[in-house]
C-alpha cells in the first residue's frame, strides 16, 4: 500500500512539475479538429466529464504500446465520467487515418492535426503526450511517454478526493 501511494504521489508530482515547465493553459476551449470522417469536433463537447487527450501517430511504436491502455480506459469508463480522445499528430491522409483506426479497432474519437510546436492544450515535445482536462474544461495535467489506465484513474480519483475535501472544508467554514 505504501509503495502504491508513493508511486501515485510521484506520478501526481511529476504531472504538476511537467505542467509548470510547459506552462499549461488554464482552459481547453475552442479547440476544434477534424475527425476521421472529416467532421469538425470540439473538445468543449466533453465538458462535464474528465477528458484524456492523447497525442500520438501511426508510426510511433511507443504510442502503439500505450494504445491498449487507452482503449481499456475508454471502454471501462465511457459511460461514467472519463472519456478518451486521440489526436493523430502527423501529416496523414484522412482515408489512411480512418483505415488505421478501423484496423486497430480504436473505439474512442480520433481527431487529426498537423504537428505544431504548441497546441491549444500546451506543448507536444514528443509522442505520445497526454493531457487531462477536468469536467470544467481546465487542463490539469500533462505527461510525455506511456501512461497507463491505472495512472490516469488514480490521478483522477486523487483529484476528486482533494476536491471533495476542499468542498467540505468550504462548507464547514461557511457554516461557522
Q: Number of C-alpha atoms within 13 angstroms, CB side, residue 23?
A: 3
59: left (phi over 0), alpha (psi -120 to 50) or beta: alpha
> Regarding the domain with residue range 2-175, which homologous superfamily does it belong to in the CATH classification?
Glutaredoxin (3.40.30.10)
In this prediction, residue 17 carries a pLDDT of 41
Q: How far apart are CA 166 and CA 168, in angstroms?
A: 5
State the DSSP H helix or E strand holding residue 25, giving kind and residue range, or none if neither. Answer: none
In this prediction, residue 8 carries a pLDDT of 43
Q: How far apart are CA 7 and CA 150, in angstroms?
A: 11
pLDDT category at 117 given cuts 50, 70, 90 is confident
Give the closest residue to 69 by CA, choosing from 130, 137, 1, 133.
130
pLDDT in tens, 66-102: 999 999 999 999 888 999 999 999 999 999 999 999 9
pLDDT in tens, 39-71: 999 999 999 999 999 999 999 999 999 999 999
pLDDT: is 98 or 171 the higher one?
98
For residues 155 and 18, the answer to whether their CB atoms sit within 8 Å is no
> What nine digits make up the cell of 149?
489506465
In this prediction, residue 98 carries a pLDDT of 98
In this prediction, residue 13 carries a pLDDT of 43
DSSP 35: B
pLDDT at 15 over 90: no
For residues 116 and 92, the answer to whether their CB atoms sit within 8 Å is no
In this prediction, residue 14 carries a pLDDT of 47
Tell me how far CA of residue 41 lies from CA of 86, 87, 102, 115, 176, in angstroms: 12, 11, 19, 18, 46
Amino acid at each position: 500500500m505504501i509503495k502504491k501511494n508513493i508511486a501515485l504521489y510521484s506520478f501526481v508530482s511529476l504531472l504538476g512539475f511537467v505542467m509548470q515547465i510547459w506552462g499549461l493553459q488554464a482552459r481547453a476551449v475552442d479547440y476544434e479538429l477534424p475527425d476521421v470522417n472529416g467532421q469538425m469536433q470540439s473538445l468543449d463537447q466533453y465538458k462535464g466529464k474528465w477528458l484524456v487527450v492523447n497525442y500520438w501517430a501511426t508510426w510511433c511504436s511507443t504510442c502503439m504500446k500505450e494504445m491498449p491502455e487507452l482503449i481499456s480506459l475508454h471502454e471501462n469508463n465511457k459511460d461514467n465520467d472519463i472519456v478518451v480522445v486521440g489526436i493523430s499528430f502527423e501529416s496523414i491522409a484522412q482515408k489512411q487515418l480512418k483505415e488505421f483506426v478501423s484496423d486497430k479497432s480504436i473505439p474512442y474519437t480520433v481527431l487529426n492535426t498537423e504537428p505544431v510546436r504548441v497546441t491549444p492544450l500546451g506543448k507536444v515535445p514528443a509522442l505520445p503526450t497526454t493531457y487531462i482536462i477536468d469536467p470544467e474544461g481546465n487542463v490539469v495535467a500533462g505527461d510525455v511517454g506511456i501512461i497507463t489506465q491505472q495512472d490516469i484513474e488514480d490521478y483522477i480519483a486523487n483529484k476528486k478526493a482533494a476536491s471533495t475535501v476542499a468542498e467540505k472544508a468550504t462548507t464547514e467554514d461557511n457554516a461557522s
